[in-house]
Chains A and B, each alone.
Chain A
Amino acid sequence: MNNIALGQYVDGKSIIHKLDPRTKLLSLMLLMVSVFLIPKPVNNSFGRLASFVMLLVFAVIILIIVLFTKISLLKYLNSLKQLAFLFVFTFIIQLLTPQGDKILIPNLNLNLSILGLGIILLWIILFIIFRKFIPCKLIVFLILTCLSIYLLTYDLGYSFTTVTLNLYEDGLFNGAFFFMRIFLVIMLSTVLTLTTKPTDLTSAIEWYLHPLTYLKINVSIFAMIISLALRFIPTLFNETGKILKAQSSRGVDFKEGTLKQQIGQIISLLIPMLVISFKRAADLADAMEARGYIPGAPRSKLNVMKFSLSDLFSFIVTIVIVTSIIVVSVI
């Protein structure tokens, strides 16, 4: 019960894991920025080729990074899955937006007929009912969507309106481009979250915010607050479980009852949690003071971040990639 995974961190001993969090944060940020620096495909075949080749090169670089982390690809796919909707949405919007002058499929007639819409509705209902039994939900859903669009192009009778769509060639390329771009950025941020502990990330951010101390802003206090908050999430989670059980044995059932009863039942969980958090916070403050914590005083660290040779190397590689992207995109 005590090992509730915080964030997505996966323990490991790979090169990427061992990198200084500061280097990792900055390098991955720079790489993300350079993904956005890749120019949009311009309206000629050479421009398109160039930007897609750059994307492909980038994808290979990210694949190499991912392989270096020695974390199974499934974990990455999992975090991509949560954003699947965003991918599909961007692609479709780009596809349908009028842009450029070449039309790929002119006058795609979609007949909104009672029969056609009825069949689609039936599909959706069946999909929702049998969702739990279907493996690879997303793929099934995409196939269903394509099929229903295909179905709508036929006139099944009783149609009340016809929507005419034009699919543009530029739209297709832009859609694919944005799809790839989001994909690469998400992959990069997943590398960061999978290989860096939340606490390490906080101390890296603290280091970068260090200049703010000259503006009389105490960064270390904020870092302390964040890392304490992160540390207490599992503890409070445990406490919630205990209170939940204690109230269940007093007859609370969070699943049934009228709305008024349910509100009362949630209060029976919230107030004890509030009391416990305050008590914990007060105890913690006492414990910290007893061990000599003075807010704002300079503090040494248990895990001193070290800038090693591999950090230097990875940072140089990043700089090379970023500059080459900038140079190529300017040309």
Chain B
Amino acid sequence: MGINFQRVNYKYSYNAPLTLKEVSLEISEKNEFICILGHTGSGKSTLVQNMNALLLPTSGQITVFDKNVIKVVKHPYKLNTKKNRLKYNFIDNKKLFARGNKVIYSSHLKDLRKHIGLVFQFPEYQLFESTVLKDVMFGPKNFGLSDEEARLEAKKACTIVGLPKDVLEKSPFSLSGGQMRRVAIAGIIALNPDVIVLDEPTVGLDPKGKDELMSLLVNIQKETSKTIIMITHDMNVVGKYAKRVIVMDQGKLVFDGNKRDLFGNIERLHKFNLDLPTSANLAVKLKEKGLINYTHLPLSKEELETVILGGDINE
């Protein structure tokens, strides 16, 4: 169950360089809070769009909730040549059928998208309906819910993201940027996906809005124990919330593991073009001066506080 990538390659067009190179990873369906880090152009967005089958892998195998995602080639006779097989590791669809795998055709991709809700960067631009409620209902209705059911789901989602009741009948374009983003996220939560993927959800929000959004995501996870995957550039967010960190570099998956492992090795961190969270930076400097002592590097404000007050961080 969950999401499984096996040696996935992806390129945007035949003569483009590989955007994903031999990416293999395993994400379980429950209780994960994953942050995906990496330089711009390292393939983070491509990676998450592959999870949602918005992009289909050039080669390799993606399994999402026990179903294989395969590019069903329209004119296989054109691609299935010896040269191409060598070049693209062409997948023989017939062989997969023979093995009894469940294959998802592009027309069935909708079923898969129900499992994995993807919130894009600047999601507020996708709003279009006349009222907030209608906009949130749009997704569930597309997945076959009736008007009544969709309304119920939408209202539930709006309470989860903390939208006040009087906003629901307003036009989404009359709201502030932060609230528009909440509406857009509610639009995905209303689909009731098993995994929520967010592409830089905190970009362009003020510090308070950022904190609110993050605690909202933590609450969602606590209540429903859904897996949450998010792309971010904000090390403070990673230090405070992430349970698992994935680092991408030039299309390759270069790190997958605990955040303490990642931040423990500063040299490697700089090699990935990443930085320590502000609190960790401060803690390192304080330790150099001999003012505090710790066994685990404090990664968030709260952890730094306990360390300064003489406590220690529990794993």
Determine chain A's interface SS by DSSP, over half rule: helix
B191 near A243 with CB under 8 A, answer: no
- Taking a contact as CB atoms closer than 8 A, the residue among B77, B110, B123 that contacts A246 in the complex is B123
Q: Tell me the minimal C-beta distance from A282 to chain B in angstroms.
A: 14
Asked if A248 and B54 make an inter-chain contact with CB atoms under 8 angstroms apart, the answer reads yes
B56-64, B111-119, B287-295, B304-312: which lies at the interface? B111-119
Interface SS of chain B: helix
- Closest chain-B Cβ to A23's Cβ sits at a distance in Å of 35
A224-252: CB near B (< 8 Å → 1, else 0) gives: 00000000000000010011011111111
Contact present for B113 and A251 (CB under 8 Å): yes
Name A271's closest neighbour in chain B (CB-CB).
B128
Report B-chain residues with C-beta under 8 Å of the C-beta of A255: 107
B52 in contact with A249 (CB, 8 Å): yes
Interface residues of A in 250-283 (CB under 8 A from B): 250-253, 255-256, 267-268, 270-272, 275-276
B49 and A253 within 8 A (CB): no
Known contacts A132-B75, A250-B188, A255-B107; is A243 also within 8 Å of B125 by CB? yes
Contacts of B125 in A (CB 8 A): 239, 242-243, 246, 272, 275-276
Distance A232 CA – B269 CA, assembled complex (angstroms): 38
A1 at the B interface (CB under 8 A):
yes
- A249:B142 contact, CB within 8 angstroms: no
- Assess whether B173 is interfacial by the CB under 8 Å rule: yes
**B190: nearest chain-A partner, CB-CB:** A250
Q: Tell me whether B138 is interfacial, beta carbon within 8 Å.
A: yes
Shortest CB-to-CB span from A247 to chain B, Å, is 6
Residues of chain B within 8 A (CB-CB) of A245 are 49, 54, 120
Residue in A133, A243, A245, A272 whose Cβ sees the most chain B Cβ within 10 Å: A245
Bound-complex Cα distance A256 to B109 (A): 12
State A243–B120 Cα separation when bound (angstroms).
Answer: 9
Given contacts A1-B12, A132-B75, contact A249 B128 (CB under 8 A): no
Q: In whole angstroms, what is the CA distance A247 to B184 when docked? A: 11
Q: Do B113 and A248 have beta carbons less than 8 Å apart?
A: yes
Q: Which of A250, A267, A270 contacts B126 (CB 8 A)?
A: A250
Given contacts A246-B125, A249-B120, A272-B128, 18 further A-B contacts (CB under 8 A): A239-B125, A243-B126, A245-B120, A246-B118, A246-B120, A249-B54, A249-B117, A250-B139, A250-B142, A251-B139, A251-B191, A252-B142, A255-B107, A268-B128, A271-B128, A272-B125, A275-B125, A276-B125
Nearest first, the 7 A-B pairs at minimum CB distance are: A251-B142, A271-B128, A250-B139, A249-B118, A246-B126, A246-B120, A251-B143
